């Protein structure tokens, strides 16, 4: 795990590889997951690379808040807000994290199961 932004998501932020971007601010980017796990599956990331929330500090508090609000905005945009949806962030090996650039999964368009597998 590195903090240098050298992940596939860093490349998406820098427009070095394509992605279907659905929402963007100065600090946050949201794009469709390449392998959707629900009818609507969007990833919301800070443009500044942070490995996970476990690596965030108090200096990142505003950015983390912006990320959550962006996820809620994406859900409204996707038309899933009324029916309900799930925001997930995977952390580390047991959390199932595979890309080490903090991201929120916004999943909706079908009923979600609990507990997750
Ligand atoms: P994680 O397993 O780390 O929580 O989630 C990583 C997510 O990134 C996965 O759902 C995976 O499908 C998605 N992903 C991996 N590589 C790419 C890519 O190149 N483009 C996009 N749009 N999504 C990706």
Four-way CATH pick for 8-108: 3.40.50.2030, 3.40.30.10, 3.30.428.10, 3.40.50.280 = 3.30.428.10
What is the reported pLDDT for 27? Answer: 98
- Residue nearest ligand 1's atom 17 by CA: 34
Q: Is 101 one of the catalytic residues?
A: no
> Is residue 44 left, alpha or beta, with left meaning phi > 0 and alpha meaning psi from -120 to 50?
beta
What residues does each domain of the chain span?
Answer: 8-108
pLDDT range class, residue 6, cuts 50, 70, 90 = confident
Digit-coded pLDDT (tens) for 66-103? 999 999 999 999 999 999 999 999 999 999 999 999 99
CA of 88 to the centre of ligand 1 (A): 13
Q: Decide whether any atom of ligand 1 lies within 6 Å of the 8 Cβ.
A: yes
CA of 68 to the centre of ligand 1 (A): 18
Instruction: Let me know: does 114 contact 70? Beta carbons within 8 Å.
Output: no
């Amino acid at each position: 795990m590195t903090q240098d932004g050298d992940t596939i998501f860093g490349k998406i932020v820098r427009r070095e590889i394509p992605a279907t971007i659905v929402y963007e601010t100065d600090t946050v980017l949201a794009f469709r997951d390449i392998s959707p796990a629900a009818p609507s599956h969007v990833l919301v990331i800070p443009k500044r690379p942070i490995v996970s929330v476990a690596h965030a500090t108090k200096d990142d508090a505003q950015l983390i808040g912006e990320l959550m609000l962006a996820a809620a905005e994406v859900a409204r945009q996707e038309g899933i807000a009324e029916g309900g949806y799930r925001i997930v962030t995977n952390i580390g090996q047991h959390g199932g994290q595979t890309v080490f650039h903090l991201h929120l999964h916004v999943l909706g368009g079908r009923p979600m199961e609990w507990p997750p597998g």
